[in-house]
């Protein structure tokens, strides 16, 4: 039954059917202009804990990078229990492994060794390329554990909230918090996934995915508080919320594919610049990979697999990320990903161009 509800919500987000009944003008939903909740903090304790734990784990990964190849060994990084619990099982296992490998890379005596046209030596553990900590395959695992968790943990938890009791508007508070913002919807204090929906939005006109999410959740909350007569409006608004989050995620993949392309073309032999290019690349891999396996999305797992294959980081296989440093023809893969995502979501050329920058104006 719950799965049917989620499928119905996705269907609503893709195909909108409307009808007007001029004979029943009393059925009108009043939608506020701002989000209001008298018990937001109390209603979102679990969600705020998960988002905080993700921040703590990310900070530990950042510290490992900052202290890599130093005199003091980098300590193991723990996987916080509440974050782990809301993460897709398959991705949870990957995060556990990546955290171990990340620490190994930080504690290796050598910098990252580019294998060129070969493959990494069997005893390689990775290391720094410029200031970026990569595994032996050239993948920045910090991005995989953080950005991938936006989909595999945070979005996944949002779906579990939607599967629950939607008769109480406190559920909408939870959807606000797990995205990474609060009742103020202040873009300057956004965190987690909301950081990136903010970046895919115009702050001057207050348009874009962050503001689409805000409107959707204000509407959903009003519909619930208005009673069961507005269940259709509630379901439509929740579907809009999920679609805006998903589109923001994959618009961000577009951003990082374009950023990787630009940085690789301009880096030359500068190791810091090359490291930054693979940093952007890993962000794209992570944002895409994290949505594989979650339900109630427009993009299919098969389409995500195609993106990961073009990124030379197929699910369940050893990545060959280092090849982007050595094979100029792979730039075409990044262009192909951008085209494919544009087709999947029906983005216009103008929209894609705005995705190439943060906070477009």
Rounded to an integer, what is the distance from CA 320 to the centroid of its chain? 22
Of the pLDDT bands very low, low, confident and very high (cuts 50, 70, 90), residue 361 is confident
Instruction: Report pLDDT for 27.
Output: 76
Q: What is the mean pLDDT of residues 127-134?
A: 98
User: Which residues, in sequence order, are bridge partners of residue 201?
Assistant: 208
Q: Which residues contact 334 (CB under 8 A, 6 or more apart)?
A: 257, 258, 260, 261, 310
Q: Considering the entire predicted model, what is its pTM?
A: 0.93
Q: What is the mean pLDDT of residues 119-123?
A: 95
Instruction: Report pLDDT for 17.
Output: 39
Instruction: Report pLDDT for 21.
Output: 45
Q: Which residue has the higher pLDDT, 13 or 264?
A: 264
Of the pLDDT bands very low, low, confident and very high (cuts 50, 70, 90), residue 16 is very low
Is pLDDT above 90 for 8? no
User: Which residues, in sequence order, are bridge partners of residue 207?
Assistant: 202
Instruction: Report pLDDT for 10.
Output: 52
Q: Is the dihedral of CA 35, 41, 46, 48 positive or negative?
A: positive
Q: Which residues contact 272 (CB under 8 A, 6 or more apart)?
A: 130, 131
Instruction: Report pLDDT for 90.
Output: 98
User: Which residues, in sequence order, are bridge partners of residue 134?
Assistant: 127
pLDDT digits (tens, 9 = 90+) for 303-351: 999 999 999 999 999 999 999 999 999 999 999 999 999 999 999 999 9
Cβ atoms of 180 and 190 closer than 8 Å? yes
Q: What is the mean pLDDT of residues 279-307?
A: 98
Q: Is the dihedral of CA 41, 44, 46, 52 positive or negative?
A: negative
Cα distance between residue 174 and residue 169, in whole Å: 9
| 231-267 helix and 331-345 helix, angle to the nearest 10 degrees | 160
Cα distance between residue 67 and residue 13, in whole Å: 45
User: Which residues, in sequence order, are bridge partners of residue 344?
Assistant: none
Name all contacts of 351-358 with Cβ < 8 Å and 24+ positions apart: 351/251, 352/254, 354/200, 354/202, 355/200, 355/251, 355/252, 355/254, 355/255, 355/258, 356/254, 356/255, 356/258, 356/259, 357/255, 358/199, 358/255
Instruction: Report pLDDT for 256.
Output: 98
Cβ atoms of 209 and 197 closer than 8 Å? yes
Cβ atoms of 354 and 207 closer than 8 Å? no
Closest alpha carbon to 75 in 102, 39, 54, 97: 102
Four-CA torsion 304, 305, 309, 313, nearest 10 degrees = 90
pLDDT digits (tens, 9 = 90+) for 63-115: 999 999 998 999 999 999 999 999 999 999 999 999 999 999 999 999 999 99
Give the other-Cβ count within 10 Å of 51's Cβ. 24
pLDDT digits (tens, 9 = 90+) for 141-188: 999 999 999 999 999 999 999 999 999 999 999 999 999 999 999 999
Across 3-12, 26-35, 99-108, which has the greatest mean pLDDT? 99-108
Cβ burial 214-225 (10 Å sphere, 16+ → b, else e)? bbbbbbbbbbbb
Q: Tell me which residue has tokens 């003008």.
A: 25
pLDDT digits (tens, 9 = 90+) for 210-261: 999 999 999 999 999 999 999 999 999 999 999 999 999 999 999 999 999 9
Which tokens hold the place of 110? 């050598």
């Amino acid at each position: 039954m719950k799965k049917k509800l989620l499928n119905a919500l996705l269907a609503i987000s893709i195909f909108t059917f409307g009808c007007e009944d001029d004979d029943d003008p009393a059925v009108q939903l009043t939608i506020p202009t701002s989000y209001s909740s008298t018990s937001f903090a109390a209603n979102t304790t679990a969600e705020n804990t998960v988002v905080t734990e993700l921040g703590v784990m990310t900070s530990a990964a950042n510290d490992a990078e900052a202290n890599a190849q130093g005199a003091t060994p980098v300590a193991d990084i723990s996987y916080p229990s509440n974050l782990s619990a809301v993460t897709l099982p398959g991705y949870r296992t990957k995060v556990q492994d990546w955290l171990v490998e990340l620490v190994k890379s930080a504690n290796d005596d050598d910098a990252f060794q580019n294998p060129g046209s070969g493959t990494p030596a069997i005893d390689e553990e990775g290391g720094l390329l410029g200031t970026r900590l990569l595994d032996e395959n050239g993948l920045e695992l910090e991005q995989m554990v953080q950005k991938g968790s936006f989909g595999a943990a945070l979005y996944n938890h949002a779906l579990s909230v939607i599967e629950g009791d939607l008769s109480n508007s406190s559920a909408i508070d939870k959807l606000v918090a797990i995205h990474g913002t609060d009742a103020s919807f202040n873009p300057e204090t956004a965190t987690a996934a909301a950081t990136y929906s903010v970046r895919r939005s115009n702050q001057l006109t207050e348009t874009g995915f962050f503001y689409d999410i805000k409107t959707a959740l204000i509407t959903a909350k009003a519909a619930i508080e208005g009673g069961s007569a507005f269940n259709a409006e509630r379901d439509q608004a929740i579907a809009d919320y999920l679609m805006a989050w998903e589109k923001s995620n994959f618009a961000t993949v577009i951003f990082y594919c374009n950023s990787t392309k630009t940085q690789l073309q301009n880096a030359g032999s500068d190791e810091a610049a090359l490291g930054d290019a693979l940093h952007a690349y890993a962000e794209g891999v992570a944002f895409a990979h994290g949505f594989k396996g979650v339900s109630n999305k427009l993009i299919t797992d098969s389409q995500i697999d195609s993106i990961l294959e073009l990124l030379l980081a197929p699910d369940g296989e050893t990545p060959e990320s280092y090849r982007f440093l050595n094979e100029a023809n792979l730039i075409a893969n990044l262009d192909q990903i951008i085209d494919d995502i544009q087709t999947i979501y029906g983005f216009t050329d103008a929209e894609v161009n705005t995705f190439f920058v943060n906070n477009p104006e």
